[in-house]
Amino acid sequence: MKDAEDGLNSPQGSNRATDIRGVRPAKPLRRAGESMGFVRENEPDGQGGVVATRTYFLVGSECRYSCSMCDLWKYTLKESVTPLGSLVAQIDDLEQQCAIIQQKEYEQPLVRGNEWLKLYNAANFFDERNVASLERQWIAERCARYSRVIVENHAALFQSKSVQQETLRFRDRLKGELEVALGLETIDPCAMKVLNKSMRLEQFEAAIDFLRQESIHSRAFILLGPPGTAAKEQKDWALKTCLQATRWGVGRSCVIPTRKGNGWTDLQFANGEWVPPKAEDLEDVLDELLISRTIESRSTPLTSVVRPVYTVDLWDWELLTGPCTRRASSEHIAESSSSWGMACRTVRKHRLEQMNLLQEIVPRVYRDECLCPEG
């Protein structure tokens, strides 16, 4: 009864889930077999280096949970079960697209062992309704060239022995390593009551314990400024959540600014019950996290991880309040010639991109001199 009262295990058909889904805007039409595309980028490898990474955004059925802050349902099918074969079809198409780009850019063909692949399906990789067991087998065959494959899954699902077994089967079919990304979101009890996460913190910790015992890497998604967290406490709770994740054994944590656009968060904003985080909040959080990297975690996530990796998500950086588009003049550039003529927004984003990769503090270019609005 306590779980239901806390809003931690509300099923999809509960009153709260119904309210959350009831204020959603119309769901965009997605077709089975057609992906949302891909990105190629670099990310820190956890050992002081950088690794080339691809992210394939796959379209499948919607997640069974109804988290109040989530907007990933926009990138899913209307069908309740992902059609068999549609995910591997997307992967095959994206592999071909990347191969064409490599040829045009005269890149060396991909050699197994020097690139990671993220397979993000906006749901749960080890939920049969989202990814069938047979489809996972086919996917593993297509991932042979990658040194690590990263997938996403809800932590509470790892309570299931069948989910654990499917996770181990997929790991064993891979030629490289497996990493699982899980949404922790926050440990702020006030925010947890309104997120409808359907997860208790001990379930998240248990999931990390399972992954660590099976030599599977982990990463956590942390929200900056989730609904329910007071505006003046947004940074503190993001920091506390990241550090707690590290103590539980999470190898890398990514801080994501909570955004509007899913209906429910827009309603909270309109009613004055939630304030979106600012750009400077995200900058401050990454500064503090990178300073803290020398703190020993309770247990080392994996021997290949020297220190925890902390990054911030810059996907919707341009939507955060604060950075202006005014072009920086010479007196605002300090000694950074690479920033000449760039808008403040671009300079500040570039700094965070560097810090994400280097895992080191990069001096702020012209924080005091800039004329950006507050934040």
pLDDT score for 12 = 54
Distance CA 189, CA 244 (A): 14
Q: What percent of the chain has pLDDT over 70?
A: 82
Distance CA 306, CA 6 (A): 37
CB 65 within 8 A of CB 197: yes
Residue 209 makes CB contacts below 8 A (sequence gap 6+) with 248, 249
Of 39-43, 55-59, 173-177, 368-372, where does mean pLDDT reach its minimum? 368-372
Closest CA to 253 of 199, 290, 299: 290
CB 233 within 8 A of CB 277: no
pLDDT, tens digit, 9 for 90 and up, residues 65-100: 999 999 999 999 999 999 999 999 999 999 999 999
Pairing mode, strands 37-44 and 50-57? antiparallel
Distance CA 71, CA 317 (A): 16
Phi, psi of 315 (to 5 degrees): -55, -45
Distance CA 334, CA 329 (A): 10
Distance CA 235, CA 243 (A): 12
pLDDT score for 345 = 81
pLDDT, tens digit, 9 for 90 and up, residues 230-268: 999 999 999 999 999 999 999 999 999 999 999 999 999
Pull the structure tokens for residue 321. 């309040």
* 4: confidence class by pLDDT, cuts 50, 70, 90: very low
Residue type for 19, please?
Answer: D
Pull the structure tokens for residue 131. 């990814």
Closest CA to 366 of 330, 325, 318, 322: 330
Closest CA to 304 of 44, 41, 53: 44
Q: What percent of the chain has pLDDT over 90?
A: 75
* 108: confidence class by pLDDT, cuts 50, 70, 90: low
Break the chain into its structural domains and give their ranges: 2-321, 322-375
* The 3-state secondary structure of the chain, one letter per residue: CHHHHHCCCCCCCCHHHHHHHHCCCCCCCCCCCCCCEEEEEEEECCCCCEEEEEEEECCCCCCCCCCCCCCHHHHCCCCCCCCCCHHHHHHHHHHHHHHHHHHHCCCCCCCCCCEEEEEECCCCCCCCCCCCHHHHHHHHHHCCCCCEEEEECCHHHHHCHHHHHHHHHHHHHCCCEEEEEEEEECCCHHHHHHHCCCCCHHHHHHHHHHHHHCCCEEEEEEEECCCCCCHHHHHHHHHHHHHHHHHHCCCEEEEEECCCCCCHHHHHHHCCCCCCCEHHHHHHHHHHHHHHHHCCCCCCCCCCCCCCEEEECCCCHHHCECCCCCECCHHHCCCCHHHCCCEHHHHHHHHHHHHHHHCCCCCCCCCCCCCCCCC
CB 243 within 8 A of CB 291: no
Domain 2-321: CATH superfamily, name plus number: Aldolase class I (3.20.20.70)
CB 121 within 8 A of CB 150: no
The pLDDT of residue 102 is above 70? yes
The pLDDT of residue 103 is above 70? yes
* 16: confidence class by pLDDT, cuts 50, 70, 90: confident
Closest CA to 347 of 289, 281, 292, 279: 279
CB 63 within 8 A of CB 76: yes
pLDDT, tens digit, 9 for 90 and up, residues 158-201: 999 999 999 999 999 999 999 999 999 999 999 999 999 999 99
Residue 224 makes CB contacts below 8 A (sequence gap 6+) with 234, 235, 238, 255, 256, 257, 258, 277, 281, 282, 285, 312
